Copies of this chain bind each other. A is one copy, B any other.
């Protein structure tokens, strides 16, 4: 991401450029994530071609964020050790210019992670990914959902996403039947994906890690953050569609998703993309 990033937001073309680049030079995706999805997240990253590293302890996460290509901080099961390591990682990433993604899982109703999310967002994450309830809660506009479920429709979170983007300079991705990605000025809608993503654990969490990997790869290109985050979402949701086409249920979907991510070609993404781009 150079000083004057490309303004075009042709998401499918960006995805088709980033995917082979990522595979040719695997970005080191540093994840601090929840205990439920660590294995699945690492497998998603490996499947797509990235190099995962789950470094989530005090004394290591800060320095590792400096050498990583991209960082994910996911608040799903924030132990005291992980909370301190998350702040350390955010500071390390910031000091080194490493792009980082905040996934504020289940904030709003749960006080410990809500406070942590507030501390983290003030460090200006490169991207924020969440369901509508979480984005509303992070913007201070809602008490949040009852857990990791989205209890609000994505469009209900557009104002919150704009507010977060404006305040912290972050690109904000709101997951839902149609994914919304905005930098506060432009808005991208991605209609790809499958409902089975909501029937497996980590369906959303792993996407945050993919975004961190793509942001790492995009550092070698002139593709901007908004487009990169959208490209990550597009690749992931197109793979999910292909997986769903062969799956018999959530178990076989998980397996097929990993296979589809590994097999996906740039042309597949371009052919399947259902992306709308416009002003916010």
Contact = CB atoms under 8 A, between A and B. Distances in A.
Contacts of A267: none
Contacts of A28: 146-147
Contact of A54 (B35, B39, B47): B35
Q: Which among A252, A254, A258 has the greatest number of chain B C-beta atoms within 10 A? A: A258
A198 B256 CA distance: 18
Interface string A78-109: 11110000000000000000000000001001
Interface stretch (A57-65, A166-174, A175-183): A57-65
Q: How large is the interface on A (under 10, 10 to 19, 20 to 34, 35 or more residues)?
A: 35 or more
How often does this chain occur in the complex, in copies?
A: 3
Nearest to A53: B147
Interface in A28-76: 28, 34-40, 42-43, 46-47, 51-60, 63-64, 67, 76
Interface in A104-137: 106, 109-113
B258 A249 contact: yes
A255 interface: yes
B251 A42 contact: no
Contact of A250 (B36, B43, B109, B200): B43
A34 B258 CA distance: 21
A78 B57 contact: yes
Contact of A39 (B36, B46, B63, B199): B36
Contacts of A149: 51
A39 B202 contact: yes
A149 B34 CA distance: 22
Given A79-B81, A112-B57, A250 B259 contact: yes
A232 interface: no
Contacts of A238: none
A259 B249 contact: yes
25 contacts: A36-B42, A39-B39, A39-B201, A43-B250, A46-B198, A46-B250, A47-B251, A53-B148, A55-B147, A56-B77, A57-B77, A57-B79, A57-B112, A58-B112, A60-B111, A60-B113, A79-B79, A249-B260, A249-B262, A249-B263, A250-B259, A251-B254, A251-B257, A251-B259, A254-B258
Given A55-B77, A55-B106, A249-B263, 6 more contacts: A35-B54, A47-B199, A59-B111, A248-B263, A249-B262, A250-B259
